[in-house]
Homo-oligomer: A and B are copies of this chain.
Amino acid sequence: MLHDDLAVMVNGVPGKMATAAAEEVVHRGLILADEALTGPDMRDKIEINGVQIRLSPPEEHFACLQRCREKYPRLIVVDYTHPSAANPNVRNYASAGLSFVIGTTGGDVSAMKDAIAGAPGVYAVIAPNMGKQIVAFQAMMDMMATEFPGAFAGYKMVVKESHQATKADTSGTAKSVVASFNKLGLNFQVDEIEKVRDEERSVNEMHVPQEHVKSGHAFHTYHVTSPDGSVNFEFQHNVCGRLVYAAGTVDAVQFLDAQRQKGEEKQVFSMIDILRSGEMS
């Protein structure tokens, strides 16, 4: 399917994740909309990859969305704004008849679904993690655990995750993978996950490149060992920067556009749906 008139409005710029998504939109050759929503008391324009973007303050949001809908007949919205803005934004997108990808976490997902259900022809991807390959890995571990419960009974585990020092809580991805290992028969608690936030350990032990140690990384190592030590498995997934999430976001945009084209009945999708759609490509 040709995407040459597919336009993407990216709300949340100049935030880092929104900016990365906007850059990926341009990189893929899609049209980056020249308007975006912003919060109160923010700047009124920004340039991304040569595209001048006019930013609308909250009182003008709905008018801005309607204007963009006219300007770009084939438009999808991407939302990487603030948790407090996510639900009001979703209501506005639905009211304006716009389909959207919401990467902003912390909103009330159930209320979002209600807003979409009341807006026929509006499609949405709601995903706590847009990193397609990471989501595939999590789903794979979950499938193994569901299919083969207890297959690793008696094994011991060590889990380490390294993130930039500003991330205080334990990685949600690591917690989800640990839940799968629990179903596989491993006796391991979430509080045994080792949080590495010390830069020297991140670099020397987890092999995080120096240039990403402060700016943002997500390195995970799961190591399991048989009771006698003769069998060892290790799984690692290591992400630097934001490109993997930006790429997954734009995959989600293209997926939604395809659902809209064919008038799919289902309206709300997850990254798993996007991963499964690979069979059509």
Contact surface of A with B, Cβ cutoff 8 Å:
131-133, 136-137, 139-141, 143-144, 147-152, 155, 185, 226, 228-241, 243-244, 275-276, 278-279, 281
Contacts and interface: CB of A to CB of B under 8 A. Distances in A.
A4 B137 CA distance: 41
Instruction: Say what secondary structure dominates the interface of chain A.
Output: mixed
Contact of A231 (B141, B232, B244, B276): B244
B151 A275 contact: yes
Contacts of A132: 151
A140 B147 CA distance: 9
Given A143-B143, A149-B279, A239 B244 contact: no
Contacts of A229: 240
Nearest to A207: B232
A226 B232 CA distance: 25
A152 B150 CA distance: 28
Given A137-B233, A234-B236, 12 more contacts: A131-B231, A132-B151, A133-B152, A136-B151, A147-B275, A148-B276, A185-B278, A229-B240, A231-B237, A231-B240, A234-B234, A235-B235
Contacts of A133: 151-152, 155, 226, 231, 233
